[in-house]
Structure 1
Amino acid sequence: MWFLVVFFLVYWLMHIVVFGLSGLQLGFSARAWSAALPLTLFLSLTPLWAALVPDWLPRWALTSIWWATYIWLGVLFYLFCVQTVYAVGWVALHWGPASLQSVFAPRAAWFWAGVALVCLVLAYGVYEARERFDVTRHEIPLAQAAAPLRLVFFSDLHLGLMPSFGRLEELVRLCERIEPDLVCIGGDLLNDHTGFLERELDLVRRLSRQFPVWAVLGNHEVYSGVDASLAFYEQAGVRVLQNASRLLNPSTPLRVTGVNDPALGQRSLSARLSPALAEASDNPGEDVVHILLSHSPRGWPDDVPEDVDLMLSGHTHRGQMFPFSWVVRLAYPHINGIYSEGSRHLIVSRGAGTWGPPFRVLAPPEALVLDILPTAEAAGGTDGKAPASYGQ
């Protein structure tokens, strides 16, 4: 609840800054100023209006409302960044030479220059989100591995009203091309309106018929309804680990443990792991590779058991739209990439899709191909490079 209050307050203040400085630059009339305040209030609540739109409306109407809402969110974010930079320059030069003060004086040219810059950034953001897709490869040498094991991991696809069918199809084709031993989904596969996802359901079912697929719940699957999300996974043939652990035996003995997202109520990673570890202690196995799936990377490394060799997470999107990554990094120091402590590793994915604004800026989507190798067979450890055969 408090998160929503803070979000909408910040979102409203961003509108105030953008409309206020834009009004000064464009020389708003008294009538325009009087209309600006209620307009900012209305626009700041548009994510709430989108969430409350009834599902009985035609899909095209629902999709149009979501597109308008979240494109505006992205546009506003970059207008806010541009206007903040302008405001800092204006204030900083207030006591400077008169010639420089006149350069930063409010005028329409500054407004239109900012709009042009935002358009360029968002055009690139559309390209990065829709056309660019990285397949990141890591080789992970583990003494416990009895034989090579190939795993595909992706997260944060956010299937819903915003288009993501094409990206899901890319992921399925990637798996079919490289034939992994295991596919793991790190949460937020679903975002909203699961009842509209018939085509997506068929694609995930196609994946699970060919490979064992395991998943955990992310925060957006909680927001869209746990029961509806679990029903989707069940129909798709995906096995969901809810604070649970399973001992598998593909090419090398493997334990997969998965925990729910903190959005379900338990903030501490240790508390969410307790039932899974109790389950694992009944049949610990010997020389078993232990993988932990957790949507959020929070809790690494202090709350992660010593016998976990590899923790896989998403959630951060690497900020999705630079420079928002600076803010995300404050909350999640492990924002993207691989982090090691001794023989243990955490890998945080940038995510395969987008949440909210359909843009990515300096945070391209990705899927991970992980080759877990016996130590003697490792070719140099983690490399982060994808062979050409992994490409699209």
Structure 2
Amino acid sequence: MTDTSETQPADRAAHTTQRSPLRRLMRYIPLIAPVLLWVVPCWVLLHTGQHWPLPVALGGTALFALGLVGMPIAMTRGHGRRQEDRAAIVGDTLLGASWVLFTWSVLLGLLLRLALTAAGVGEGQDRARIVTWVVLGVTAVLLAWGYAEARRVPRVRRLDVELPRLGAGLDGTRVALITDTHYGPLDRARWSAKVCETVNTLDADLVCHTGDIADGTAERRRAQAAPLATVRASRAKVYVTGNHEYYSEAQGWVDLMDELGWEPLRNRHLLLERGGDTLVVAGVDDVTAEPSGLAGHRAHLAGALDGADPELPVLLLAHQPKFIDRAAADGIDLQLSGHTHGGQIWPFHYLVRIDQPALAGLSRHGTRTLLYTSRGTGFWGPPFRVFAPSEITLLVLRSPGRLPSP
């Protein structure tokens, strides 16, 4: 027998040493990111050969400096202890605008310089100013379009999903999915009402909300969430918590959703029966529930399925796609998730994929388990959606051989 009393602590120490540089770097990201977001565009647009008149160069640089200082202050006042909605709106808007400007200053600035060089436009003020004006123009268009996309009522995305274990009696079951509504500093009570009206046109058997209802407590965002009481489903309306509930008194949101007529599936299930067949509809708390320290909250799949017939098909609600590993290991048939927002503002898509196994749409995991990841119904923080449209999803469940012809 090998004595591991010395090797295990050594391994842990080595692992800690390996992780510590990354952890130290992560600590500085809140300081580094704002500097990059504002300094890089300032340099590209104002100081790389343009030779603007001195008042223009100084005024433009002052605006970037104001953004660099003002954005962190506004976000701290808006999302910190003060919870000032106006400050949050300013900070979030500056964050989204700086991200888009940074992205296109780097990408488009580089591509334009290469294209202009290939076209025979050499180094000089003309080339530099062309880059500046094109980058500013593209950024303005993307921000205007992204704002309109974020504030609009989402389009309905309809999808037929075949589940091999679904009985014929349940074929055609209509499941409407909304998620990540993120009611917040911008008052979206009217938007919320229109979303609910759209859901009611879908004639759904089951309506699901997979979390991140709001940014703020239930008491503070009640008016925006109130229209959820008007949602209709022929069988049930079910809800699970998202990570943002655990930033804002999650139990208050669970209680409010119950009051509004939604059934919170906190590590439990219900049965949907039709035509002599049965579907298990289960839900789990978000994976951040237990680390939040809120008593009684944790993601517990075994508890959610306790008492369910293992031969029955299971539809699972779990806020984050990353829960799919546990779902697949347990043979879940279909998991519905949100959380990713489809990236919300390109190219944040690629960063999301580092943390989550899926960005959007239907994907297969293991031999039996399907995952549907919604791009979300609302938006978080910056009021923009760029190349990541929001959605209300209608999934029509099909038993084997019942998929409609293309």
SS at match of 1:75: helix
Letter in 1 for 2:218: T
Q: Are residues 87 and 53 of structure 1, via their aligned partners in 2, closer, same or farther at CA, if it must alter by over 3 Å?
A: same
Are the equivalent residues in 2 in contact too, given 1:89–1:104 (CA < 8 A)? no
TM-superposed deviation, 1:81: 1.5
Are the equivalent residues in 2 in contact too, given 1:245–1:255 (CA < 8 A)? no
Is 1:145–2:166 an aligned residue pair?
yes
Q: Are residues 6 and 211 of structure 1, via their aligned partners in 2, closer, same or farther at CA, if it must alter by over 3 Å?
A: farther
Q: What is the alpha-carbon distance in structure 1 between the residues aligned to residue 350 and residue 225 of structure 2?
A: 35
Q: Are residues 201 and 106 of structure 1, via their aligned partners in 2, closer, same or farther at CA, if it must alter by over 3 Å?
A: closer
Is 1:235–2:259 an aligned residue pair?
yes
Q: What is the alpha-carbon distance in structure 2 between the residues aligned to residue 142 and residue 316 of structure 1?
A: 24
Letter in 1 for 2:136: V
Letter in 1 for 2:387: L
Alignment of 1:360-371 (within 5 A): 360-371=385-396
Are the equivalent residues in 1 in contact too, given 2:204–2:233 (CA < 8 A)? no
Alignment of 1:173-322 (within 5 A): 173-207=197-231, 212-242=236-266, 244-251=267-274, 252-265=277-290, 275-278=300-303, 280-281=305-306, 283-285=307-309, 287-301=311-325, 304-322=328-346
Are the equivalent residues in 1 in contact too, given 2:181–2:214 (CA < 8 A)? yes
Q: What is the alpha-carbon distance in structure 1 between the residues aligned to residue 357 and residue 53 of structure 2?
A: 43
Q: What is the alpha-carbon distance in structure 2 between the residues aligned to residue 181 and residue 51 of structure 1?
A: 38
Letter in 2 for 1:371: V
TM-superposed deviation, 1:349: 0.4
Q: What is the alpha-carbon distance in structure 2 between the residues aligned to residue 167 and residue 306 of structure 1?
A: 38
Is 1:73–2:101 an aligned residue pair?
no
Identical aligned pairs, as a percentage? 22
RCO greater where, 1 or 2, for CA within 8 Å and sep 6 or more? 1
TM-superposed deviation, 1:376: 4.4
TM-score normalized by structure 2? Answer: 0.77
Specify the alignment match of 2:132 in structure 1: 111
Q: Are residues 220 and 101 of structure 1, via their aligned partners in 2, closer, same or farther at CA, if it must alter by over 3 Å?
A: same
Give CA-to-partner distance per residue, 1:199-226, whole Å, 9 cap, x none: 3343112226875221111122212232
TM-superposed deviation, 1:315: 0.9
Q: Are residues 330 and 92 of structure 1, via their aligned partners in 2, closer, same or farther at CA, if it must alter by over 3 Å?
A: farther
TM-superposed deviation, 1:228: 3.2
Letter in 2 for 1:116: G
TM-superposed deviation, 1:334: 1.0
Are the equivalent residues in 1 in contact too, given 2:320–2:339 (CA < 8 A)? yes
Give CA-to-partner distance per residue, 1:348-377, whole Å, 9 cap, x none: 001011111211122111111112233243
Q: What is the alpha-carbon distance in structure 2 between the residues aligned to residue 368 and residue 117 of structure 1?
A: 31
Specify the alignment match of 2:122 in structure 1: 100
SS at match of 1:253: strand
SS at match of 2:186: coil
TM-superposed deviation, 1:159: 1.0
Is 1:123–2:123 an aligned residue pair?
no
Which moves more between the two structures, 36-45 or 160-169? 36-45
Are the equivalent residues in 1 in contact too, given 2:203–2:233 (CA < 8 A)? no
Which moves more between the two structures, 136-145 or 310-319? 136-145
TM-superposed deviation, 1:255: 1.8
TM-superposed deviation, 1:152: 0.9
Q: What is the alpha-carbon distance in structure 2 between the residues aligned to residue 239 and residue 314 of structure 1?
A: 18
Q: What is the alpha-carbon distance in structure 1 between the residues aligned to residue 216 and residue 81 of structure 2?
A: 12
Are the equivalent residues in 2 in contact too, given 1:257–1:292 (CA < 8 A)? yes
Q: Are residues 250 and 190 of structure 1, via their aligned partners in 2, closer, same or farther at CA, if it must alter by over 3 Å?
A: farther
Q: Structure 1 unaligned segments of length 5 or more: list them.
A: 56-61, 384-392
Is 1:155–2:179 an aligned residue pair?
yes
Q: What is the alpha-carbon distance in structure 2 between the residues aligned to residue 141 and residue 96 of structure 1?
A: 51
SS at match of 1:233: helix
Specify the alignment match of 1:58 in structure 2: none
SS at match of 2:332: coil
Q: Are residues 279 and 216 of structure 1, via their aligned partners in 2, closer, same or farther at CA, if it must alter by over 3 Å?
A: closer
SS at match of 1:352: coil
TM-score normalized by structure 1? Answer: 0.80
TM-superposed deviation, 1:189: 1.6
Q: Are residues 280 and 265 of structure 1, via their aligned partners in 2, closer, same or farther at CA, if it must alter by over 3 Å?
A: closer
SS at match of 2:321: coil
Is 1:85–2:107 an aligned residue pair?
yes
Give CA-to-partner distance per residue, 1:48-69, whole Å, 9 cap, x none: 22113746xxxxxx54333322
Are the equivalent residues in 2 in contact too, given 1:160–1:193 (CA < 8 A)? no
Specify the alignment match of 1:18 in structure 2: 41
Aligned residues: 368
Letter in 1 for 2:183: L
TM-superposed deviation, 1:120: 1.0
Specify the alignment match of 2:16 in structure 1: none
Letter in 2 for 1:362: F
Specify the alignment match of 2:369 in structure 1: 344
Q: Are residues 96 and 28 of structure 1, via their aligned partners in 2, closer, same or farther at CA, if it must alter by over 3 Å?
A: farther
Letter in 2 for 1:264: A
Alignment of 1:15-54 (within 5 A): 15-24=38-47, 25=50, 26=52, 40-52=68-80, 54=82
SS at match of 1:162: coil
Larger radius of gyration: 2
SS at match of 2:387: coil
Q: Are residues 260 and 100 of structure 1, via their aligned partners in 2, closer, same or farther at CA, if it must alter by over 3 Å?
A: farther
Are the equivalent residues in 2 in contact too, given 1:213–1:239 (CA < 8 A)? yes
Q: What is the alpha-carbon distance in structure 1 between the residues aligned to residue 190 and residue 144 of structure 2?
A: 19
SS at match of 2:322: coil
Are the equivalent residues in 2 in contact too, given 1:213–1:238 (CA < 8 A)? yes
SS at match of 2:288: helix
Specify the alignment match of 1:386 in structure 2: none
Are the equivalent residues in 2 in contact too, given 1:254–1:291 (CA < 8 A)? yes
